[in-house]
Structure 1
Amino acid sequence: MHGYEMIQELESRTGGIWRPSPGSVYPTLQLLEDEGLIEAEAAGGRKRFSLTEAGRAEAQAAAENPPWTQFSDDTMSQVADFRDAAMGIMSALRQVGFNGTPEQRQRALEVLNETKRKLYAILADSE
């Protein structure tokens, strides 16, 4: 499989949520090759990568918890909801930033900082 095919496969397995850039994929492939986990073979002007025996062992161990399982339908629905909410917040923030008084902008900043604190508190389960 060549790098572009890997990018497409990752995008497919994550339901389109994650499409890694060539700037992250190709250096990672080089690192995996340097570590002896994959080998490259030039074919048709492209490098095709395949697992070495050591790479197969690593892949087998990693297959027990594949990273794309975190992209379930429920998770993807919530990700879309989060994205929509964040876009709405950014729109409101732009309006306050461009049209608000200095006092309104300060209050908006306080709301954002408080919201950030509350979000981290949810993760810490301390609220």
Structure 2
Amino acid sequence: MTRLADRFNGTYEPSAGSIYPTLQLLEDEGLVRAEPAEGGRKVHHATEAGLRLVEEQREEIERLWGRAASRSQWGMFGEPEAAEIVGPALRLVKAAVKTLARAHGDPRVVEGVLEVFVDARRRIERIDAERRSS
């Protein structure tokens, strides 16, 4: 469970109530086998059938882990300080999308909206650089 939580960088922490029933199901289906370990714990290993299934589903598994990795970058928004900026940031994006939709591809509008975002990013990076240098 710890390794899985680490892989999600804190955005998901599995509970015993979700992990153990899943492991039991995989064991019942012959996809993993459990072996006794220290302290009455079990270590689970993929069976040949489990490894074959993983190989067959490799692309889907990689796609899912890719999605999980991209979402783990958002784990920082659980912090109260970061959460304060979510609302204003989303309103900014919404305003930009509405403006672009109404502009029907007008390059001047697209360029102007992009300039706002680029300028905002640079200003935020400057704030961060100043913080780090002080």
TM-score (norm 1): 0.52
Is 1:10 the counterpart of 2:4? The answer is yes
Q: Could you say which residue in structure 2 is the equivalent of 1:84?
A: 83
Query: Which amino acid in the other structure matches residue 83 of structure 2?
Result: D
Q: Is the partner of 1:18 in helix, strand or coil? A: coil
* 2:15 match: 21
> Which is helix-richer, 1 or 2?
2
* Counterpart selection for 2:25 from 9, 27, 31: 31
Q: Contact 1:15 / 1:71 at 8 angstroms: preserved in 2?
A: no
Q: Does 1:61 align with 2:56?
A: yes
Match of 2:59, SS? Answer: coil
The reply to whether residue 70 of structure 1 matches residue 67 of structure 2 is yes
Question: Structure 1 residues 37 and 74 mapped into 2: Cα distance closer, same or farther (>3 Å)?
Answer: closer
1:84 CA drift (Å) = 2.2
1: distance between equivalents of 2:37 and 2:47? Answer: 18
Q: Distance between the aligned counterparts of 1:49 and 1:73, measured in 2?
A: 27
Q: Which runs of 4+ in 1 moved over 3 A?
A: 71-75
Counterpart of 2:43 in 1: which secondary structure? strand
Give the C-alpha shift of residue 75 in structure 1: 6.7
SS of corresponding position for 2:6: helix
Call closer, same or farther: CA 1:14–1:62 in 2, change over 3 Å: farther
Deviation at 1:68, TM superposition (A): 2.4
2 CA distance for matches of 1:79 and 1:37? 35
Any idea what the Cα deviations from partners look like across 1:78-104, whole Å, max 9, x if unmatched? 8828x826x97xxxxxxxxxxxxxxxx
**Pairwise CA distance, 1:11:** 1.2
5+ residue gaps in structure 1? 1-6, 89-127
Please say which of residues 33-42 and 56-65 is displaced more in the overlay: 56-65
**Contact 2:11–2:75 at 8 Å: present in 1 too?**
no
Q: What percentage of residue pairs aligned between the two structures are identical? A: 40
Distance 1:74 1:24 in 2: 20
